[in-house]
Amino acid sequence: MASIRTLHILNKRPGHPAFKSCLSSLENQDALLLTENGVLALVDKGLTLEGCVYALSPDLKARAIPGDASVAQAIDYDEMVALTARAQRVISW
Amino acid sequence: MASIRTLHILNKRPGHPAFKSCLSSLENQDALLLTENGVLALVDKGLTLEGCVYALSPDLKARAIPGDASVAQAIDYDEMVALTARAQRVISW
Amino acid sequence: MKTLVIMNQAPYGDWSGREALDMAFSLAAFDQPVALLFTGDGVNWLRREQEAAAISQKAVDRNLAAATIFGVTALYADQQSCHRFGLDQHTMIAGITLADTNAGLLGEYDHVISLS
Amino acid sequence: MKTLVIMNQAPYGDWSGREALDMAFSLAAFDQPVALLFTGDGVNWLRREQEAAAISQKAVDRNLAAATIFGVTALYADQQSCHRFGLDQHTMIAGITLADTNAGLLGEYDHVISLS
Amino acid sequence: MSNKISHSTLSFTLVITGAPYSSQAPQTALFFARAAVAAGHRIDRVFLYGDGVHLASALASPPSDEPNWSRQWCEFLNQNAVPGVACIASALRRGIVDEREQKRYELGANNIAAPFSIAGLGEWVEGVARSDRVIYFHGGS
Amino acid sequence: MSNKISHSTLSFTLVITGAPYSSQAPQTALFFARAAVAAGHRIDRVFLYGDGVHLASALASPPSDEPNWSRQWCEFLNQNAVPGVACIASALRRGIVDEREQKRYELGANNIAAPFSIAGLGEWVEGVARSDRVIYFHGGS
C-alpha cells in the first residue's frame, strides 16, 4: 500500500469555489476522497479527475451516482478512517 | 424613470453558482442590485457587468469597495425599497 | 400568480433543496400554480433510484415523480445542465420537460424563488 | 506542528471567515505556530479602510494589521487572486506577503484549515 | 402577490432564510423593513424559513458590543405590529420551540422570543397570494 | 497533532462546523466516529464550532420518521466516554446555552443536551497540539 502524503476530503458541490481550490492543490502522492455533495464530481463532464481518487459509497448510493471504478474507488466509513490514519496529513475542504 | 421588468437582488460572492445563474437570466428592462457579498462583483476583473446596475452603499462601505458610478449606482435601503416597489417582480438570488 | 421554484442545489448535502421542494408542494396544496426548474447541480435531484437511506435520509425521487399528481404544473430541467451531468431519459425520472433556461422560461412566472 | 488557516470566504456576508480568524488568533494566543493564507474571494479581507460599522459589524482590517504582533507568523495573499480583485500595496493593508499558492505553500504546513 | 407598480402604499411579505451570526440576511432584512415602513408601506408578515428560524431564538447572547439581531427584530415587530412567524417544520428540526411544542414533545424548555410565533407554510402561501411583494433574504456565502 | 503514520491506535479530535438539518456534516462525522472507535482508535474529543454548535441543542425535534442527530450523537458520546464540547463564542451567539450562561445572561431557559458542555477554543487548540489527527466536518453546500 503506497503511502499518502495528504488526504484531501472534499464535500463541496463541483460549482463551489473550494472545489477548485482543492483540485488545484493536489500533488503527487496525495489522495482525494469525495464525500457528500463532492461525489457529483464523478458525473460532471466539465471535470477531469486524475490520480488517486476515492468516493464514499453511501453518498454515491444516496445520489444514485454510478461508481466508475476506473476513476474512483468506492469506499465505506471504515476505509475512510483507515485513509485518515494512513495519510501524513488530512485537509477537509 | 424607466420601468423595471425584473429586479434581481444578488447577495452571493462572485464564485457562487447562483451568481452565474443570476447574470445569465438578466434581460433588457431588468435591473441588478448587488448586496452583501455580491458587491465584490464591482472589483472582480473576471466579470463584466452591463445594463442597469445598483449596489447597496452600506455593503460597499463595509468592504471598502470603491463605487464606480459608471458601472453601478450606489443606493441606500430607502432606494432599495423604492426599487422593489418600482419593479414588476423581484428575484432574490 | 404563477410561481417558479428554481432547484439549483446539489441533493442531500444541505437542506435548502429539500426546503425549496416543500415550498413548491405547499403552494400546490393550496391550489396556487407552481412549477419546478432543475438547473446546475440541481438536475441531480432527478436521477433514478436514489437510495438516500444509505445516509439515513429520505429519498425524494418518488415524490418528484408524483409531483404533478400533487398539483405541481410542470417539472423542467435545464438541457445544458442535464448534458453536463450525463442525465438522459434512461437515467432521469419520468415526466421531466427539457428546457433551454436561457430562452426566457423565467419570464413566464410572476414569482421566482431561488433558495441559493 | 505548523498550522495554515486558509481564508477563501468573502468578508462580512457570512461568519465563517471571522470564525476562521478566531481560530488563527487562538492558536497564536496558545503559542502554536500559525499563518494565514488569503485566496480567492478571501483576499478582500485585506482591503484598507473597511467601515463595517455601516452594516453594524466590527471591521477586521486593524486586527489583521496587528496579527503578527499577536503571534501569527505570516499573512500570505495569493498573487493571482489579488490581481483579480485589483488589490495592490496601495489598497491592501501593510504586512502582507504575496505568494503563488500553486507553488507548494500548503506543503510547508502540518495542519491546514479551510472553513469553506 | 400582485404586479401592482406604484409609488403609493404597497404590502410586503418578507421571507428570511439565513440565520443571524451565520449570514447577513436578518440584518439586511431589518434595514429593508425599517425603510419600507418609513416609506409608508405595510409589512403583512415576516416569515422565517430554513436556517432563518434561528432569528426567533430567545437565547442568542452575542457579546455586549455586538448587536442582538433577534432582540432588534422583536422590537421592530412589536413597534410596528407586524406578525413574525417561524415555519414549524424548519423550527422543530432546528430546536426552536414554543410552549405548545415543548409540551407535545415533552421538552425541558422552550426558547421562542415573543412576538415570534410558530406556524405552517400556509402563512407564507398567504403572503404569496395576497401581498403586493414577497421579498426573500437568503444566506449569501 | 503528530504525523504518526500507523495502523495501530491513533487519537482523533473531530471538529464539526456544519449544523444538522442544514448540512450533512454531523451525519458524516457520526458514521466516521463509529468506524474510528470500531477500528480501535481513540477519540479525544468532539469539538463543535460555528453552525456546528446547533448539534448540541436539546430541543431539536425532527419528525418521528427522521433520525434525531443530536440524540444519536449524545448516545455515542455517552457510550464511548468521549467529551463533546461546543465553542462558547459560537454557542452564545447562536442561542445554545448551559445553566451557567443562562444565569449569567439572565435567560429564561437553557438548551444544551448532556453530555455536551461549553468551553473555549483552547479545547480545540489542545486537540491540534496533542491528537494524532484533527478531522474537520464542514457544511457542504
Q: CB within 8 A of A37, min separation 6: which ones?
A: A11, A12, A13, A16, C10, C12, C13, C14, C41, F24, F140, F141
CA distance E69 to E67: 6
CA distance A42 to A49: 8
CA distance A72 to D57: 44
Asked if residue A42 lies in contact with residue A72, where contact means CB atoms within 8 angstroms, the answer is yes
CATH number at residue F93: 3.40.1260.10
Instruction: Indicate the average pLDDT of chain E.
Output: 95
Q: Which chain E positions have a beta carbon within 8 Å of B82's beta carbon?
A: 7, 39
CA distance D67 to D25: 8
Expressed as residue numbers, the domain containing F39 is 12-58+67-137
Residue B25 domain-assigned (yes or no): no
Expressed as residue numbers, the domain containing A11 is 4-20+30-92
CA distance D91 to D60: 15
Instruction: Indicate the average pLDDT of chain D.
Output: 94
Closest C-alpha among C110, B85, C112 to residue E36? B85
The B73-75 sheet, strands edge to edge: B73-75, B52-56, B31-34, B4-10, B87-92
Tell me the pLDDT tens digit for each residue of A39-76.
999 999 999 999 999 999 999 999 999 978 889 999 99
Asked if residue E122 lies in contact with residue B18, where contact means CB atoms within 8 angstroms, the answer is no
Pairing of the two strands D97-99 and B73-75: unpaired
CA distance F5 to F23: 31
* Cross-chain residue pair F136–D113, CB shorter than 8 Å: yes
Q: Which chain D positions have a beta carbon within 8 Å of F138's beta carbon?
A: 114-116
- Number of helices (H) and strands (E) in chain A: give both, helices first: 3, 5
Residue E54 domain-assigned (yes or no): yes
Residue A54 domain-assigned (yes or no): yes
Residue F4 domain-assigned (yes or no): no
Cell of C7: 432547484
Domains defined along chain C, listed by start: 3-114 (3.40.1260.10)
> Other CB atoms closer than 10 Å to residue C91's CB: what's the count?
16
Cell of E11: 404590502
Check CB contact of E62 with chain D, cutoff 8 Å.
no
Encoded amino acid at D93, one letter: I
Closest in B40, B44, B61 to D51, CB measured: B61
Tell me the pLDDT tens digit for each residue of C1-16.
899 999 999 999 999 9
Residue A25 domain-assigned (yes or no): no
Q: Which chain F positions have a beta carbon within 8 Å of C13's beta carbon?
A: 23-24, 140-141
Domain count along chain E: 1
Which of B6, B11, B35 should one mutate to test binding to chain E, selecting the residue with the greatest count of E CBs within 10 A? B11
Give the Cα-Cα-Cα angle C103, C22, E49 (nearest 5 degrees): 100
Coil, helix or strand at residue C61: helix
CATH number at residue B79: 3.40.1260.10
Question: Which of these is catalytic: F10, F87, F88, F91?
Answer: F87
Q: Which of residues 29-58 of E touch C (CB under 8 A)?
A: 49-50
What distance separates the 2 farthest-apart alpha carbons in chain A? 33
Separation in Å, CA F14 to CA C47, D60, F6, F17, F131: 33, 28, 18, 10, 10
Tell me the pLDDT tens digit for each residue of C48-106.
999 999 999 988 988 898 999 999 999 999 999 999 999 999 999 999 999 988 778 99
Domain count along chain A: 1
Coil, helix or strand at residue B49: coil
Encoded amino acid at F141, one letter: S
Question: Can you name the residues that pair with E85 across neighbouring β-strands?
Answer: E47, E117
Residue A83 domain-assigned (yes or no): yes
> Other CB atoms closer than 10 Å to residue C97's CB: what's the count?
12
Residue F86 domain-assigned (yes or no): yes
Check CB contact of E108 with chain B, cutoff 8 Å.
no
User: pLDDT tens string for chain F (141 positions)?
Assistant: 665 655 589 999 999 999 999 999 999 999 999 999 999 999 999 999 999 999 999 999 999 999 999 999 999 999 999 999 999 999 999 999 999 999 999 999 999 999 999 999 999 999 999 999 999 999 987
**pTM given for the model:** 0.97
DSSP string, F93-116: HTT---HHHHHHTT-S---BPTT-
- Number of helices (H) and strands (E) in chain B: give both, helices first: 3, 5
- Cβ-count burial of A3 within 10 angstroms (0-12 exposed, 13-18 middle, 19+ buried)? exposed
What distance separates the 2 farthest-apart alpha carbons in chain E? 50
**CA dihedral for D36, D46, B71, B89, sign (positive or negative):** positive
- Name the DSSP letter for residue C49: S
Asked if ipTM goes beyond 0.90, one says yes
Cell of E131: 401581498
